[in-house]
Copies of this chain bind each other. A is one copy, B any other.
Amino acid sequence: MKKAFSLSIPLLFVFTLSRAQSNNSDTTRRYIKVPSGYLMVLRQGDDILKKIEEFAISEKIPSANFTAMGFVNVQFGFFDAATKKYIPKDFKNVEMASMPGTIAWQDAKVSIHTHGVVGDRDFNAYAGHILSATVSTGSLEVMITPHDKKLERKFEEPLGANVLQLGN
């Protein structure tokens, strides 16, 4: 175990470096303005939630709905009401068949809530709350419909979940 660990440091370093370089050198535009909002095309290796977050900050999005499809690696999480934690599971190289979500704000940070349905090479489907996702060998096409009101998510008790607030 110890040997494996000491080996993994330079490997991780190389991998991180290569990822960073590829992201730095890839200056391809990721989104354009369209009449109904924004059309985003994320590319191999992109961190999906991070890219949507950066977009929301750059374009000063008060709130938005989006829907996406593509080819991804995804980590789903199921919220365990007893432990109040997400139980995660990874799915690699799967078709993202449907991925609806919303963009809002929480504690001055972008708050993305998104679910997804993926299909593996035998077309078996898996669905859940998305904890993280990257684009695999392909792309992710995202249609974003912004709203004009700044919306906040708030952790509600005794529910134990974040809920999008519409005001009263």
Cα distance A168–B143 in the bound complex, in angstroms: 19
Known A-B contacts A78-B123, A126-B124; A163 and B149 likewise in contact (beta carbons under 8 Å): no
Stretch at the interface among A4-12, A14-22, A51-59, A91-99: A91-99
Cα distance A71–B91 in the bound complex, in angstroms: 21
Cα distance A162–B28 in the bound complex, in angstroms: 15
Q: Which size bracket describes the interface of A in this complex?
A: 35 or more
With both chains docked as a complex, state the minimum distance between the C-beta of A48 and any C-beta of chain B, in angstroms: 15
A111-145 with Cβ < 8 A to chain B: 113-129, 137-139, 141, 143, 145
Cα distance A114–B95 in the bound complex, in angstroms: 11
> Inside 8 A of A69's CB, which chain B residues have their CB?
100-102, 113-115
Known A-B contacts A34-B147, A34-B148, A166-B32; A128 and B123 likewise in contact (beta carbons under 8 Å): yes
Contact of A129 among B37, B95, B147, B163 (CB under 8 A): B95
Q: Which A residues fall within an 8 A CB radius of B?
A: 27-32, 34-37, 39, 41, 43-44, 63, 65, 67-69, 71, 76, 78-81, 87, 89, 91, 95-102, 113-129, 137-139, 141, 143, 145, 147-149, 151, 159-161, 163-168
